Amino acid sequence: MRTLYLDAFSGISGDMFIGALLDLGVDFKQFETELAKLNVTGYHLHAQRIAKSSIYGTDFDVHLPETVHKDEGFIETTSTHHHDHPHQHADGHTHSHGDEVRHLKDIEAIIDHSDLSDYVKTNAKQVFTEIAKSEAVVHELPLSDVHFHEVGALDSIVDIVGAFIALELLAVDQVYSSELTDGSGFIKVAHGMMPVPVPAVMQMRVGSAIPIKQNPEIHTELITPTGMGIVKTVVDQFCPIPDNQTITKVGYGFGNRETPKLNALRVMLCEKKN
């Protein structure tokens, strides 16, 4: 029995998860081929083995025509933002409220009409639903009013769908994880200061047993809503590596946060001892 173990000592994001699985041995060309079955365009994948803090791992990113901060694709709602003027997100990206947006049902339709496997379709839609539900509660919106800007939606679709393509290619039987580590304090966004863990991540903890500890030395978010959604969907158990498992390979997926300690997701491929 093959087990994937997540050592989330520095949080988790979609890019970090995919990068870690590529570093573990998922073939990038095969990954690209499978992702093409999503049948959407407008993005370019980048994956490179690099060293951070003298440790080699894989840096994965989705390049888009415009720069969009990860997990900044959600906006509030057309029912509360009827104005059509430029609006700035935390990353400085400016858009007009006349820009095309995608609601949850639109993203589900893209996934349903793709040529992806049933496994990828089902799990990717589950993550989007988890994120959308949390945003709806945080902002007191109907689920149908939560939506993505087009560019942010594309980035998130590729990250989330890609995570399950990589996981399926890795062919593991179960996923275990350490407790998750987040930063602390507050992060600045367009509408003010947001606490860490960010509200969407905190909301996804409701009704779950996902353990999170906060590092007081790191003053930024380490767990993104996409990362939390993936964890909530795939992790079977939170525990140390079981004694009956032998580690066969270790991989690192790098994050893009500048932190005092290594910003990476470490993953281990384990086999049950005979």
Domain boundaries in the chain? 1-64+98-270
- Cβ-contact 241, 268 below 8 angstroms: yes
pLDDT-wise least confident of 101-105, 239-243, 249-253: 101-105
pLDDT band at 269 (very low <50, low <70, confident <90, very high): very high
Select from 259, 193, 243 the least CA-distant residue to 53.
Answer: 259
pTM: 0.88
Give mean pLDDT, residues 117-137.
96
CB burial of residue 86 (10 Å; 0-12, 13-18, 19+): exposed
Please give the mean pLDDT across all residues of the chain.
87
Give the phi and the psi of residue 182 in degrees, each rounded to 5. Answer: -120, 170
Tokens of 270: 């384990």
Q: Indicate the DSSP class of residue 241.
A: P
State pLDDT tens for residues 148-160: 665 568 889 999 9
**Rounded distance between C-alpha atoms, residue 185 and residue 190, angstroms:** 17
- Count of CB atoms within 10 A of residue 50's CB? 11
Task: Please report which residue ranges of the chain form alpha helices under DSSP H.
Answer: 14-24, 28-35, 104-112, 118-138, 150-170, 199-204, 225-234
